[in-house]
Structure 1
Amino acid sequence: MLGEVVVAIVAGSLALLSDAGHMLSDVGAIAAALWAMRLAARPPSGAWTFGWKRAEILSAAANGITLVVIAAVVAVEALRRLLTTHPEVSGGAVLAVALVGIAVNIAATWLLAKASRRSLNVRGAYLHLLTDLFGFVGTAVAAVVIVTTGWTQADAVASLLVAVLMAHAGSGLLAASGRVLLEAAPSGVELTAVRTHLLEVNHVLDVHDLHVWTVTSDLPSLSAHLVLDDACFNDGHAPQILDQVQECLGGHFDVEHSTFQLEPRSHQEHEPGVH
């Protein structure tokens, strides 16, 4: 990264400078990911009943914000160069650094690709490296254009492409982490389907106060009130119903953490705030 900054200043390349800025954010993204993983591994204690598992989601959101902000800065400067200036850019120097950057980022991306990207935290660090790789490829192409045609504005065009890639990756991370932080239902869980499956269990008459959210990556949770036949409480059959609905959730929706309140039909008139 330091070598890239030096060459970018000497060669007058915005594409290299934007890549260097993005590489600096890579350092922060990986450091934040490692720190968040350590926090997430802490066991629940005291007021932190779920532990620090959402630290990984906060790290993913921070990575998304970083990508979007850097993309905006690079895009503004690239547009300024395209519209107002015609800078001298040393295509040979830019090409040499870009090729080294491609090799380094292929190795780094390959290493991180072996980790599970179902975690938003790991996915955020991976996207930083992947967009950096694409950025170097774009910079190398721009350098070839400059060397062969002398059109130095190719450097600014490559910077714009890098900015678009960063913005796309960052907005995706923000959308995914935002769903978790705002406690929306996981994207693969349809509430109507969950309700239908629960009502198919014998003796379940109604389902209300149904909530599904994600604590952290790969940890969806569900809570609901189930209205049962009064006879289930009289003959002690209610625990078997609980086993059936939890088995239904695990089998159809991969939800292992669930909490149910079992209620007789006669309790409905005393239930406040049903939704």
Structure 2
Amino acid sequence: MGDGHGHGHGHDDHGHAGHGVSADADRRWLTLALGLIGVFMAGEVVVGLIARSLALLSDAAHMLTDAGAIALALVAMRLAARPPKGGYTFGLKRAEILSAQANGLTMILLGVWLAVEAVRRLIDPPAVAGGLVLATALAGIAVNLAAAWAMSRANRASLNVEGAFQHVVNDLFAFIAAAVAGLVILLTGFSRADPIATLVVVALMFKAGYGLIRASGRIFLEAAPTGIDPPALGAQLAGVPDVVEVHDLHVWEITSGEPALSAHVLVAEGRDCHAVRAGIQDLLRRDYRITHSTLQVDHADALAAPDHPDGADPHCEDPHGVSYRASAAGAPPAPR
């Protein structure tokens, strides 16, 4: 806007100075986990067929989705690292969220198939070689512990990495359940222990899959990041010295761990808009870890009109939004 009333656009990338090194390390840890899982999965399919164990075959299928999840995570990391280009002004950062959502969905779909097959085997249980199941499951626990350790070294703040990690952790639980089932079958001959173990793992898969879909869905719907309360944030911004009002406040995540904010800030007459903007950006960085903020900062008196004596700008304000005023900074805001 004219007459010396400014627009502010602030970014702070200091926290990402080592991002390239971290991303390379993440890829190395994920590649190690992928190799461990891929080699063991091939052997497990053979043993599962010989032992006629659904618990082992289902876990081999789960390990296949583990491998796919890690491979997808690696591809998404490559895409997300590409700089902005053309119409993709944020780059392809949300490729990681697509990967997380795909991982959650595959866990639920695989869980449905395993649940149906487990119920069928509860009704008509086949003979299961408990000794083979137990030995293979114990080896699988060791492999999955190594893979989970490798992936825990990567940045799990990324939903992409967390999605692949959840696949491996659920596979670890599956092997523990399979080992218990194998021991029960070996000692008692109770073959239904195999599908019962599978159903326990299915419940865990549903829980983890739903969590991933919900978290990635919030980002796609541009909900406020978990842990940030927009009304409280707006009230805090309105309490910054020299701020008269804050409206058109939007806070969302570009991708997991990268919150962004935009707002229109009205400043008292004669005050320094640039200093206020810098103060708000410091507050956002310090208290909310928001380093990508777009702030339109204007003098309230410049926007005042005869029919808008409070200084609100009818062209800039969101009619369905909320205004936060300095006089009510400590109280819950009310819709305008």
- Residue 257 of structure 2 corresponds to 218
**Amino acid corresponding to residue 194 of structure 1 in structure 2:** L
C-alpha distance in structure 2 between counterparts of 1:114 and 1:11, whole Å: 35
Distance (Å, rounded) in 1 between the aligned partners of 2:252 and 2:125? 52
TM-fit CA distance, 1:35: 0.4
State whether residues 26 and 128 of structure 1, in contact with CA within 8 Å, keep that contact through their aligned partners in structure 2.
yes
Unaligned runs of at least 5 residues, structure 1: none
- How many residues align structurally? 270
Distance 1:189 1:270 in 2: 28
Tell me which of 276, 285, 294 is aligned to 1:250: 285
- Contact 1:197 1:248 (8 Å CA) reproduced: no
Would the aligned equivalents of 2:108 and 2:205 in 1 still touch at CA under 8 Å? Answer: yes
Task: Report what 1:174 is aligned to.
Answer: 213
Amino acid at match of 2:100: A
2:116 corresponds, among 72, 76, 79, to 76
| Equivalent position of 1:103 in the other structure | 142
The Cα of 1:245 is off from its aligned counterpart by: 0.8
AA in 2 matched with 1:218? G
Alignment equivalent of 2:190, drawn from 144, 148, 151: 151
Match of 1:265 among 287, 300, 304: 300
Compute the displacement of 1:116 (Å). Answer: 1.5
Asked whether 1:22 is paired with 2:66, we answer no
Secondary structure class of the residue paired with 1:9? helix
Superposed CA offset, 1:68-92 (max 9, x none): 110111011111221x212111101
Unaligned segments of structure 2, at least 5 residues: 1-40, 304-311, 322-336
Task: Quote the residue 1:118 is aligned against.
Answer: 157
The letter for the 1-side match of 2:290 is V
Counterpart mapping for 1:177-188 below 5 A: 177-188=216-227
Distance across 2 between alignment mates of 1:27 and 1:155: 24
* Residue 191 of structure 1: aligned partner: 230
2:299 and 2:55 map into 1 onto residues whose CA distance is: 67
Distance 2:258 2:113 in 1: 36
Higher mean alpha-carbon deviation, 132-141 vs 164-173, is at: 164-173
Amino acid at match of 1:52: L
Deviation for aligned residue 1:205? 1.2
